[in-house]
Structure 1
């Protein structure tokens, strides 16, 4: 555990310290989000924070590769495949943040990055089934893997619409996934706690925590596509790598000692729980736009975060409440490893009630809990970016 926490700290520190340089690069290259009719931010804002996040991932992974405890994980190429795919989508996001690429070009780049991962062995070989784990046919593994990775990247990109929202959701949900994968490794490999998924989640949580001080409202920099796609890809890579820790010929009840129910489903259920809000937001957006006869990629102001603001929440309150919902779903799914499904269901009910009160209760309209006024006025006074200078962006 201490090794993973050290890597988490390194990733956070590197990301925090290099984000100002990413902001400088964004200002120098005019990679700045203008204020458009559908946007929530009120000032043109640099958007290359993903470069700092990628640098934090690279430094932490390279450090891990030199640690005797973890060096064995780097022999089969999975970690390097995920790192290579992340590097590709980071460059793709940088280009999109600078030149506003069309959706087809972005999709092609995403497929290429997911393909790099798949051909390095990061493939979804098994899926859970009521009777146990089912092995996918060989010709389908690459295609399904690419689909899952591209879906995760776009889900995180869709939800990246409020300051600190995407980074906070991945940090909170990723921490639940981290504890789950660490517990899984302790049971499956009692003599070796090294795990690709645990390593990746420790690093991913670290870079999100390191980026949040710069990105929470009022944000001084956005992660941009260079960040959101990297987060989605690494999350998907970690989830897929977990399936390799469970043998498909073992019955679900035998997979995890102490799990009360559905343990074989958790390697895929938990990432879905972590990304539930982004996936729900993306699914509703696609259905809404198709029903209106528009492209699924057509922008609008009907995302979940827009609806939170419409309920009367401040920017910061809306973000924190969406954090709460993420924690409810992610930690509920992770708790299935240690608690019976009946106990988890009770705690889920209590947590949902609390989250609903926060979402729909009196905090929407009165009280100064997480109000935006003071912070926003200070940000406007200090901001060196002038309105009208940057080109229009694509992701917010």
Structure 2
């Protein structure tokens, strides 16, 4: 890689939009071919007791999404400004190689239903590839300690600590997205929302850092993922014609982890006021908000299953989306409600790092209250009738 230039005065927003659109179009066009391939090789999901669908459905949609990511990355490599993301960073290459590994593992699982340990080994391998390419979390600000001004300190991790943290984050994110993929369009929509929020946050980093080209990779990774999810969603929203399968959900988790870890290393802490706690904590805030809905579902599932003496990877029908169906929401309304929760939290966290905190907190509170009321409508109707 060449020497990293200090700044670029160009904010390539239109190039990011073009890359996302390309990824969406390529994914949309590839889905038909992947659907035929899935039927031909037997990568088909037959209805089970815990499933919501009632007829056999082809899987392996993640293969089309990965094709869209590759298409977006290839275009970005040819664009005059975004090419810098490849010239001065290995992050895009890490996602291409690691994403290929995780999609391969997912395709094998969609066809042969691998055991949990084999899938975990594949997830760790893909996450390790990110680390080998240098994509890892090495430092972040913490509100304790003393940096000389009594306002906290910058926690610096060594290579081993950063590698372990980055692999754990990636594997957790992969499984969280895998767990939440239970209704038509749910994982694709959450992936679109989370990737778009991460892209906006990364572009905000570009603006705050004076256009530092070092901040191009996280926005590029997020933009290609958002485009792939957008292109897949028309085929997957209820009633779905194809499932993304583990090949898709695990790709979304890996790329979200890659984009957030990549963005975390691009914060210019010297340019943030020592009293601006949200600015200093912005990487952790955005990661927590983007992950909140799938991570909450994952945590509840692990606790629920271990209390019953079962494996954390055993399947059941008590995920968040199942609970929304149980209280009276339709499939589409349950999916849209989870979109609402994910959108309010993810974009609210990004807005906290970019705009006036007081205004954003009020808007975030109103959004969360609205989401809560809409979610509780069937219960309120039942109470009113009784």
Answer 1 or 2: higher relative contact order, Cα 8 Å, separation at least 6.
1
User: In the alignment, does 2:295 pair up with 1:274?
Assistant: no
Distance 2:374 2:176 in 1: 24
Which residue of the other structure, out of 45, 63, 76, is the alignment partner of 1:33?
45
Structure 2 unaligned residues grouped into runs of 5+ = 1-12, 144-151
Q: Tell me, in whole angstroms, the C-alpha distance in 2 between the residues paired with 1:364 and 1:14.
A: 44
Alignment of 1:344 onto 2:365: no
The answer to whether the 8 Å contact 2:264/2:283 transfers is yes
C-alpha distance in 2, partners of 1:103/1:230? 17
Residue 293 of structure 1, CA deviation: 0.6
* Residue number among 144, 159, 174 corresponding to 1:138 in the alignment: 159
Q: What do the CA deviations read for 1:345-373 (whole angstroms, capped 9, x no partner)?
A: 2112211111112111159979xxxxxxx
Partner Cα separation in structure 1 for residue 72 and residue 243 of structure 2: 22
Q: Supply the distance in 2 between the matched residues of 1:303 and 1:116 (Cα, whole angstroms).
A: 31
Change (3 A) 1:202 1:364: farther
1:109 aligns with 2:130: no
State whether structure 2 residue 261 is matched by structure 1 residue 240: yes
Secondary structure of the corresponding residue to residue 176 of structure 2: helix
In the alignment, is residue 95 of structure 1 matched against residue 115 of structure 2? no
- Please, which of 308, 316, 319 is the counterpart of residue 303 of structure 1? 319
CA shift, 1:251, in A, is 7.2
Quote the RMSD (CA, aligned, Å): 1.8
CA distance in 1, matches of 2:162, 2:32: 40
Q: 2:20 aligned with 1:20, yes or no?
A: no
The 1:114–1:361 alpha-carbon spacing in structure 2 relative to 1, beyond 3 Å, is same
Please say if 1:211 is aligned against 2:232: yes
Separation (CA, whole Å) in 1 of partners of 2:380 and 2:192: 25
Give the secondary structure class of the aligned counterpart of 1:111. helix
Q: What residue number does 1:385 align with?
A: none
2:70 counterpart residue number:
58
Distance 1:192 1:86, change over 3 A: closer
* Superposition TM-score, scaled by structure 2 size: 0.90
Report 1:111-126 matches (<5 A): 111-126=124-139
Q: In 1, distance between residues paired with 2:330 and 2:185?
A: 13
* CA–CA distance in structure 2, aligned partners of residues 310 and 149 of structure 1: 31
Shift of 1:269: 1.9
2:85 matched to 1:78? no
What's 1:378 paired with? Answer: none
1:197 aligns with 2:210: no
Count of aligned residue pairs for this structure pair: 361
Per-residue deviation, 1:341: 2.9
Question: Is residue 353 of structure 1 aligned with residue 369 of structure 2?
Answer: yes
Contact conserved, 1:12 with 1:206, CA < 8 A, in 2?
yes
8 Å CA contact 2:65–2:228 kept in 1: the answer is: yes
SS at match of 1:200: helix
Distance 1:7 1:251 in 2: 30
Q: Work out which of the residue numbers 152, 166, 185 in structure 1 matches 2:173.
A: 152
Distance 1:170 1:129 in 2: 28
- How high is the TM-score relative to the length of structure 1? 0.87
Name stretches of at least 5 consecutive residues in structure 1 with no aligned partner: 367-396
User: After superposition, what is the alpha-carbon deviation per residue over 1:161-212, rounded to whole angstroms, capped at 9, x for unaligned?
Assistant: 0000010011122212211110111111336586111111111111111000
Query: Per the alignment, in what secondary structure is the counterpart of residue 134 of structure 2?
Result: coil
Contact 2:197 2:347 in 1 (8 A): yes
Task: Quote how far apart the aligned CAs of 1:241 are.
Answer: 0.6
